[in-house]
Amino acid sequence: MKLHRIGVIMNGVTGRMGTNQHLVRSILAIQRQGGVRIKKNEAIMPEPVLVGRKEDKLRKLAKAHGLQNISTNLAGVLADPKNKIYFDSQSTKLHVDSMLMAIDAGKAVYCEKPTAESLEKAVQLYQAAERAGVKNGVVQDKLFLPGLQKFAKIKQQGILGKILSVHGEFGYWVFSGHNAEQTPQRPSWNYRSEDGGGIIVDMHSHWRYVIDNLFGRVKSVLTHAETHLKERIDENGKVYTCTADDAAYAIFETEDNVLCQFNSSWVTRVRRDDLFTMLVNGTEASAVIGLRKCRLQKLSSTPRFVWNPDVDIPVDPNNNWEEVPASETYDNAFKNQWELFLRHVVLDEPFPWNLREGAKGVQLAEKSRQSHRQRRWLDLEELPE
Ligand SMILES: NC(=O)c1ccc[n+]([C@@H]2O[C@H](COP(=O)([O-])OP(=O)(O)OC[C@H]3O[C@@H](n4cnc5c(N)ncnc54)[C@H](O)[C@@H]3O)[C@@H](O)[C@H]2O)c1
């Protein structure tokens, strides 16, 4: 077997996403399967270099997975020509500076979303990558989820007819930490705007590529945001003031005139099919998309509901939905995209999810915050090349 060994610098790898999704579920899973097979006797083998600020944490993570290569010196690992890819999953605020260092060093760069805190910086980042001629990408994992892939397929077959509207519901209750038995399940920086937190910047950067890809380019936005919980407890048991939005209520309109109404909240309890669902209403059918499943109700099986509050609902609204079958076996969404990025770097295959696409997510988040402050609809301009 001929192996293309590619050093992958993973900065921020001790974090939640870095460890679970990118190191364990993607890079190590690719190693375990013998690399990304590109020909019968040829494969790409990623070799992670774990980078962060704290040596003890890196050492512990490396030991847990039988890895050797760790460093607290980013400039040092960037200078090593064996390392061809730089990947950034640090907290959002830190992406741009480190990514620019990697671009300067001529590495192919791949970044968690949102790529930057402001549109200005996100544009600066993709323009720097373009100028330097380095391959670049942004994580857009939701597109690779089984539920969304199944939907994309039935949509392409025209089963829904004309798509009219989408109702997206994202969220769950993130514990505040006030009760010692219910520890917060997300890092505290998410709830401080000065540290790059906030649900708009986090989730609207996802909604941009989800909507652009499935329902047409987002052309305008109306958002209202709230910080429902004013106080939480951090990783060290200290009370802190929440300065970032923890819920956002938004309407996005696409160029195809699809109205997409999305609620995103870390302060809601779940009574729906999944932590993220989209109800898509089309003239011929509606679909409910979850992370892994997609259900369909055709016009012919749509119940004829008649408003009558005096009796219990006569038909269970959860009936009359058929599950869209899997047409392939679905792998981890992050791993799927990693494999495509590795192929892009080694084989020059197309990779449309570049930093300019990443900047569009930042643009939607920025416009959403502006819309909230100004309490009005705002249009999104085309981004510069
Ligand atoms: N694609 C997705 O679905 C998804 C989901 C959650 C988070 N994210 C994104 O992933 C990134 C990381 O989020 P996370 O939830 O893993 O956060 P996290 O806090 O768990 O991890 C952040 C990492 O950055 C490092 N870091 C923090 N402050 C630093 C500093 N001052 N200097 C150097 N390193 C520092 C931490 O040590 C850690 O390794 C964010 O950009 C976030 O928006 C993406």
| Tens digits of residue pLDDT in 277-335 | 999 999 999 999 999 999 999 999 999 999 999 999 999 999 999 999 999 999 999 99
- What are the extents of the domains in the chain? 2-140+333-348, 143-331+363-374
55 in contact with ligand 1, CB cutoff 6 A = no
Cβ contact 246:227 at 8 Å:
yes
Cβ neighbours around 152 below 10 Å, total: 15
CA distance 251 to 362: 17
- In DSSP notation, 280-310 reads EEESSEEEEE-SS-EEEEEGGG-------TT
State the distance from the centre of ligand 1 to the C-alpha of 142, rounded, in angstroms.
18
State the distance from the centre of ligand 1 to the C-alpha of 95, rounded, in angstroms.
9
245: helix, coil or strand? coil
The enclosing H or E element of 378 equals: strand 378-379
- Overall average pLDDT of the 60-80 stretch: 98
- Overall average pLDDT of the 221-243 stretch: 98
Closest to 266 (Cα-Cα) out of 369, 170, 174, 175: 174
14 in contact with ligand 1, CB cutoff 6 A = yes
Superfamily the domain 2-140+333-348 falls into:
NAD(P)-binding Rossmann-like Domain (3.40.50.720)
89: helix, coil or strand? coil
Query: Percentage of the chain with pLDDT > 90?
Result: 99
Nearest CA to ligand 1 atom 21: 15
State the distance from the centre of ligand 1 to the C-alpha of 91, rounded, in angstroms.
3
State the distance from the centre of ligand 1 to the C-alpha of 115, rounded, in angstroms.
12
Cβ contact 94:195 at 8 Å:
no
Query: Percentage of the chain with pLDDT > 70?
Result: 100
**Pairing mode of beta strands 42-51, 231-233:** unpaired
291 in contact with ligand 1, CB cutoff 6 A = no
184 in contact with ligand 1, CB cutoff 6 A = no
pLDDT of 316: 95
CATH 3.20.20.10, domain 143-331+363-374, yes or no: no
| Tens digits of residue pLDDT in 264-279 | 999 999 999 999 999 9
Residue 213: which residues within 8 A CB-CB, separation 6 or more?
Answer: 143, 152
- Overall average pLDDT of the 39-62 stretch: 97
- In DSSP notation, 117-182 reads SSHHHHHHHHHHHHHHT--EEE--GGGGSHHHHHHHHHHHTTTT-SEEEEEEEEE-BPP-SSSTTS
Which atom of ligand 1 lies at the shortest distance from residue 187's CA? 19
CA distance 181 to 212: 41
Nearest CA to ligand 1 atom 6: 17
Closest to 293 (Cα-Cα) out of 309, 277, 311: 277
91 in contact with ligand 1, CB cutoff 6 A = yes
State the distance from the centre of ligand 1 to the C-alpha of 99, rounded, in angstroms.
14
CA distance 314 to 12: 53
The values of phi and psi at residue 267, to 5°, are -130, 50
CA distance 259 to 47: 44
pLDDT-derived band at 100, boundaries 50, 70, 90: very high
117 in contact with ligand 1, CB cutoff 6 A = no
Q: Find the angle CA(65)-CA(22)-CA(383) to the nearest 5 degrees.
A: 160
Mean predicted lDDT score pLDDT of the chain: 97
251: helix, coil or strand? strand
Token output for 285:
């059918």
| Tens digits of residue pLDDT in 7-37 | 999 999 999 999 999 999 999 999 999 999 9
pLDDT-derived band at 139, boundaries 50, 70, 90: very high
Cβ contact 237:254 at 8 Å:
no
Closest to 98 (Cα-Cα) out of 78, 71, 118, 126: 78
72 in contact with ligand 1, CB cutoff 6 A = no
Which atom of ligand 1 lies at the shortest distance from residue 189's CA? 19
The amino acid at residue 98 is S
Site of tokens 């058929």: 322
Task: For the chain, give the number of residues.
Answer: 385
pLDDT-derived band at 60, boundaries 50, 70, 90: very high
Nearest CA to ligand 1 atom 13: 91
Cβ neighbours around 104 below 10 Å, total: 13
pLDDT of 85: 98
